[in-house]
Amino acid sequence: MKKDLGQIRTQYQSPPLLEKEVSQNPLEEFSKWFERVSADKKLKEPNAMILSTIGLDGYPKSRIVLLKFYDTNGFGFYTNYQSDKAKAISNNQNVSLGFYWPHRYQQVLIKGKANKTDLVTSQQYFESRPKGSQISALLSHQSSIVDNRSVLEKKFKTLEKQYADKSVPKPSNWGGYQVIPIEYEFWQGQKNRLHDRLRYSNNSGIWKIERLAP
């Protein structure tokens, strides 16, 4: 059965994204965009991003993860090091990140290499998480097959009682990754599909800005 979606359209209308008005540093430009998006309290999880990896089967795989920090060294998120995404990164560090904020008709695409964060960084973030999230990280063998949901719920209740009066230890197979960008693309939706696309490419530490056709 074919479902025709051709009539679902949105007419974008945004201020122009001009080379002379953007920062020469893509991280500074990202920060400006992110701060504006984050100021909109109606938007839930503006830090949600698409992480794409190359799986061990050779196929690309994308999933939503949450950006937990960014700085001059890259963009960070946390996961189980035995998950499918971690296995893929171990085999191929090349990844991409995608942010899409539909209410602003904006997206940012980032290409880079993912590296594990240091143990101190991972430990500090783990300790800042709600206790329920800590317990879930402890019990979950992420991406492995489970018989049913009740198995997970039973394990959770057991660990919840076990750690009721004490701290939850960070699993040794849980921690962070930091993606070091080599390329950014800033996309701004425009009327009649004449979208703005500005690409920042890193050439020996110098960022080059180029406009791409929509």
Short-list 78, 75, 94, CA closest to 129: 78
Spatial neighbors of 101 by CB under 8 A, at least 6 apart, are 33, 37, 43, 46, 107
Q: Which two tokens stand for residue 87?
A: 């296995």
Spatial neighbors of 171 by CB under 8 A, at least 6 apart, are 80, 137, 138
Phi/psi class of residue 207: alpha, beta or left (left: φ > 0; alpha: ψ in -120 to 50)? Answer: beta
What are phi and psi for residue 29, nearest 5 degrees? -65, -45
193 annotated active-site:
yes
Q: Which two tokens stand for residue 161?
A: 């009682």
The catalytically annotated residue of 104, 193, 197, 211 is: 193
Which H helix or E strand runs over 53? strand 48-54
> Rounded to whole angstroms, how far apart are CA atoms 70 and 98?
14
Spatial neighbors of 104 by CB under 8 A, at least 6 apart, are 14, 36, 37
Q: Which two tokens stand for residue 79?
A: 């996961």
What positions carry a catalytic annotation? 193
